[in-house]
Amino acid sequence: MTTIYQKKGKVYLIGAGPGDPGLLTLKAKACIERADVVVYDYLANQAFLEYAHSETELIYVGKQGGAHTMKQEDINALLCEKAGQGLNIVRLKGGDPFIFGRGGEEAQELVKAGVPFEVIPGITSAIAVPAYAGIPLTHRDYTATVAFVTGHEEPNKVQSNMDWEKLATGIGTLVFLMGIGNLAEIAENLIHHGRTPDTPVAVIQQGTMAKQKTVVGTLRNIAVKAKERQVRPPGIIVIGEVVNLRAELNWFEQKPLFGKRIIITRAREQASEFLAQLTELGAECIEFPTIEIIPPSQWEDMDRAIRSLDRYQWLLFTSVNGVQYFFKRLEDLGKDVRGLKNMKVGAIGPKTAEAVYAKGIKPDLVPDEYRAEAVVDAFKKQGAENLNILIPRAAEAREILPEELKKMGARVDVVEAYRTVMPDKGADKVKAMLQDGEIHMITFTSSSTVTNFVSMFESDKDQLKHWMEKSAVACIGPITAQTAEKNGLKVSVMPKDYTVEALTDAILQYYS
């Protein structure tokens, strides 16, 4: 693992933002990637932990509903202890570490202990959550002043740290953090100290996430409305005339897939484009890769084929992974694309074809239908007798392509270019979400993603079908869909074209 060389360890106090994974800063991501230890809170999206190295120590110290995993003084001691071991520590906190995040207290303790530290600000929920609810905190037609206030303090306590009279009458927009439990008292106090009862109020639960819920009212009735809508922490309270702008500027909750929580089972290396498309449409995507791409168990077969490329007339790729691993091995053996000068190249699917194009080669065969049967049909038309064909692919894959080519008289060498294995983590989190009915859809982009998904819940096999009744299943094509149905899953979505883009469009159509 890469670490910054230094005699003493260093602590990075990092704001993780309000929840939307896309709102983490680039600098924060870079620090997590090179951290030796990540100490994280409840409100820090755990998706960020995926950026950490596999050897990074992950320590949860959060609190939820007043239940503390670790006392603050123990957290301070932990940071100092780890830094004393010469380690780089990321202290990952929800929102911004210096906005009601106790980051200042932690920094003071680090100074006392002589521990170097750095603060990486995060996008505080105080500004991000109202923005996602369509509420600008300032607007020249409404107000030029805004105040961030802790709502965690009991408003009616004798020795309050807040000047309620000035807050009520001297600030245009008030933003209360951690105040859902005290909503009625906050509204009462502001009215009592001079704020008009008709002042607009918005309460936003789990802002920037798929579960975002916004309730709008006035100081007079907001507590009742929030209770009726069962608003729960974490949440933000926005008070002021700017709340009226939500009717015009509400953008996030209008996205076509807003509120949908979708699981992506594709290998992490290939999931980014699919994830980005669904996220742009408003879905909250849960990465749950059920396959992991790794090098082959041995390179002998691949190396033998590469050293004898001049004996092949065709090179067929069935996946992007096959392209990547083949050309990487080609380079490792001191060769390049010139070794393919006498060969024709075929690719199943546009993405595989794009990967071949990226290597400076125009594919000679890209069938209209993106599966092995279409390649077989193409060779039936042009003939395959006495052709030597090389297919670099996964260790385990459908045998229809090499078998049918051999029936036509071709000599086919199938070499292992990579392996797909089942990851050994993540199932518990997804299991809990399935049990609670929190997953709206599960997507599968290959038969292996289906098979591994079911295998990862082998001990709950009887329960899985029951849990899946609450979740739609989307498959990229008919082969994947057949595998899903053989495993007892009901397929709700399958596009006509077997691409991620088409699958995204089909999901959008399903929910519209």
Residues that are catalytic: 41, 63, 178
Q: What gap in Å lies between CA 494 and CA 176, rounded to an integer?
A: 45
Q: Distance from first CA to last CA of the chain, Å, rounded?
A: 46
> DSSP characters for 392-432?
EEESS---HHHHHHHHTT-EEEEEEEEEEE--SSSHHHHHH
Nearest residue to 478 (alpha-carbon basis) of 503, 459, 454: 503
Q: What gap in Å lies between CA 28 and CA 101, rounded to an integer?
A: 16
Amino acid identity of 487? N
Q: How many CB atoms lie within 10 A of CB 49?
A: 15
Amino acid identity of 350? P
> DSSP characters for 344-403?
EEEESSHHHHHHHHTTT---SB--SS-SHHHHHHHHHHH--TT-EEEEEEESS---HHHH
Amino acid identity of 177? L
Task: Show the tokens assigned to 403.
Answer: 């078998």
Pairing, β 146-150 against β 173-177: parallel
Q: What gap in Å lies between CA 80 and CA 89, rounded to an integer?
A: 10
Chain-centre distance for alpha carbon 99: 25
List, in sequence order, every beta strand (DSSP E) within 86-205.
Answer: 88-93, 117-120, 146-150, 173-177, 200-205
The dihedral sign for the CA sequence 469, 470, 475, 478: positive
Angle value at C-alpha 179, between 176 and 185, nearest 5 degrees:
100
Q: What gap in Å lies between CA 421 and CA 398, rounded to an integer?
A: 16
Q: How many CB atoms lie within 10 A of CB 241?
A: 14
Amino acid identity of 213? K
Q: Which residues contact residue 263 at a Cβ distance below 8 angstroms, ignoring those fewer than 6 apart? A: 285, 286, 288, 430, 439, 441, 442, 443
Burial class (CB in 10 A: 0-12, 13-18, 19+), 228: exposed
**314, β-bridge pairs:** 344, 389
Q: Which residues contact residue 344 at a Cβ distance below 8 angstroms, ignoring those fewer than 6 apart? A: 313, 314, 315, 364, 365
**394, β-bridge pairs:** 418
Helix axes 427-435, 461-468, angle to 10 degrees: 50
